[in-house]
Amino acid sequence: AIRITQSPSSLSASTGDRVTITCRASQGISSYLAWYQQKPGKAPKLLIYAASTLQSGVPSRFSGSGSGTDFTLTISCLQSEDFATYYCQQYYSYPQGFGGGTKVEIK
Amino acid sequence: EVQLVESGGGLVQPGRSLRLSCAASGFTFDDYAMHWVRQAPGKGLEWVSGISWNSGSIGYADSVKGRFTISRDNAKNSLYLQMNSLRAEDTALYYCAKDKSGEGLGAFDIWGQGTMVTVSS
């Protein structure tokens, strides 16, 4: 199975900061990577798919990059509503898998 | 309105079985692959199983292979997860999720609110 390593597991940031989260796959997955945001008590929400394509309705401050094994989610100017947990997911092959998550907290 | 509604969760003893259902509405169900994803209390997301639009391609996490069976009924716009030989470590909130593709090679753009499964004696 393809392993997904996400880092950091948590970070503290202030409103207006630029935030970067990374995911590394144990083998190449082309661009079959997605990013999700989850707030407490809520279902995950798709932000980015195909490594860099913004899901409809998602603010443009979110962006994704990478291909192969290394991927990045960037929030260019953190807003109060962005404090949440973020997950990456590989859907290149079964069994699919998620990264361990990154909790973005208020500094 | 595009919607997924899970049901069938509850408290069950170790070794017993449970069947989860997911009712879909607001989109053409038989055009898309579907998945089950679970989240243990306070933990991260774990992909459990996926099924293509025509049930021709199915996958399972190693942790549930041989115990869980995914299926779908396109005539009823419904997805199912038959869970046998349940263990304490299967305790989690189980989400139903819609794939952006028909074959299961897409991200998950629609999620239900989840149904809780608790395995305990």
Contact between B100 and A53 under an 8 Å Cβ cutoff? The reply is no
pLDDT reported for residue A41: 97
What lies within 8 Å, CB to CB, of B76 at 6+ separation is none
> What distance separates the 2 farthest-apart alpha carbons in chain B?
40
Whole-number Å distance between alpha carbons of B119 and B121: 7
If you average pLDDT over every residue of chain B, what do you get? 98
> Per-residue confidence at A91, pLDDT binned at 50, 70, 90?
very high
Reading the block at residue B44, the tokens are 């991260």
The pLDDT assigned to B93 comes to 98
> What pLDDT is attached to residue A85?
98
Give the strand pairing for B58-60 and A70-75.
unpaired
**What share of chain B has pLDDT > 90, as a percent?**
98
**Mean local confidence (pLDDT), B5-20:** 98
Question: In the structure, what pLDDT confidence band is assigned to residue B72 with cuts at 50, 70 and 90?
Answer: very high
Q: Residues A3-18: what's their mean pLDDT?
A: 97
32-71 in chain B: CB under 8 A from chain A: 35, 37, 44-47, 50, 57, 59-62
pLDDT at residue number B46: 98
Q: Compute the average pLDDT of residues B49-77.
A: 98
Report residue A92's pLDDT band, with 50, 70 and 90 as the boundaries. very high
Chain A interface with B: residues with Cβ < 8 Å: 1, 32, 34, 36, 38, 43-46, 49-50, 55, 87, 89, 91-92, 94-101
User: Six-digit token pair at A5?
Assistant: 């390593």
Q: A21-44, pLDDT tens digit by residue? A: 999 999 999 999 999 999 999 999
Residue B21, burial from CB neighbour count under 10 angstroms (0-12, 13-18, 19+): middle
B35 contacts on A by Cβ (under 8 Å): 96
% of residues, chain B, pLDDT over 70 = 100
Check CB contact under 8 Å for B50 and A96: yes
Torsion of CA A75, A22, A41, A97, to 10 degrees: 140
Binning pLDDT at 50, 70 and 90, where does residue A79 land?
very high
Q: What is the dihedral of CA B7, B121, B65, B30, to 10 degrees?
A: 0
Mean pLDDT across B50-62: 98
pLDDT for the residue B112: 98
8 Å CB contact of A43 and B106:
no
pLDDT 10s digits, B17-52: 999 999 999 999 999 999 999 999 999 999 999 999
Instruction: Could you list the beta-strand ranges (E) of B1-121.
Output: 3-7, 10-12, 18-25, 34-39, 45-51, 58-60, 68-73, 78-83, 92-99, 108-111, 115-119
